[in-house]
Amino acid sequence: MAILASPQGRFSDNCAKENKKRLMSLRTVLAGLLACCCSCPALAKEPAQVWLDPGFFSYHFKDENYRENNYGFGVGVFMAPEHGFLAGTFLNSDDERSRYGGYHWRPWDWSPAGLSVRAGLVFGLIDGYSNTNDGGWFPIIVPTLSVEYGHFGVNLSIAPHPDNGTALALQLRLRVW
């Protein structure tokens, strides 16, 4: 466990305990999503796909000084083209560490010129925004357009936020399985 020194020279592990608590919460959410996924026989008809992403780039419509290169690490596991589960971490627009977990539903499909274009919604939980729920977890619903070609893909999302305003996010993806 990481121990942090306080300005008075005493050691405090409150930050480490809070991070451990958040990680356990994310693990619980992911375990629940995995249990739902494994219990649904309709999802087992197609082989699973695993996608990795290095975070995303964002553009904020509100003219403020927001971080727009939101580096991080994420994983998406799709049990069928229209059903996937997501988890990851990134540096958010307020330059704070965020973690997320969610279900990606992509029911609308279009296949022009060998591309797979799917539209849908991400239903999830996210934390790390100190101006929302004191940095704790809160629910999100994010409209998303996914474009995939072979092992490469992108997600384009509209991310509304009550304090930061709406942002447009571009996420690059690599299929590894």
- The answer to whether the beta carbons of residues 98 and 129 sit under 8 Å apart is yes
Q: Taking the alpha carbons of 22, 39, 140, 66 in that order, is the dihedral positive or negative?
A: positive
Residue 18: enclosing H or E segment and its boundaries?
helix 14-38
Pick from 128, 124, 111: nearest CA to 32: 124
Domain that holds residue 46: 10-175
List, as one string, the DSSP characters of 32-57: HHHHHHHT-GGGGGS--EEEEEEEEE
Domain membership of residue 3 (yes or no) is: no
Characterise 138 by phi-psi region: left (phi > 0), alpha (psi -120 to 50), beta (else): beta
Domain membership of residue 4 (yes or no) is: no
Domain membership of residue 5 (yes or no) is: no
Provide the pLDDT for residue 7: 44
Provide the pLDDT for residue 13: 54
Provide the pLDDT for residue 9: 43
Domain membership of residue 130 (yes or no) is: yes
Q: Could you tell me the two tokens for 20?
A: 């451990």
Domain membership of residue 146 (yes or no) is: yes
Provide the pLDDT for residue 31: 54
Provide the pLDDT for residue 22: 56
Domain membership of residue 76 (yes or no) is: yes
Q: What is the CATH classification number for the domain harbouring 104?
A: 2.40.160.20
Domain membership of residue 2 (yes or no) is: no
Domain membership of residue 127 (yes or no) is: yes
- Give the pLDDT of the chain (177 residues) as one tens digit per residue: 343 443 444 444 555 555 565 555 555 555 555 544 454 545 556 789 999 999 999 999 888 888 999 999 999 999 999 999 999 999 998 899 999 999 999 999 999 988 999 999 999 999 998 888 888 999 999 999 999 999 999 999 998 877 777 899 999 999 998
For 52-76, give the secondary structure using H, E and C.
EEEEEEEEECCCCCCCCEEEEEEEE
Number of domains making up the chain? 1
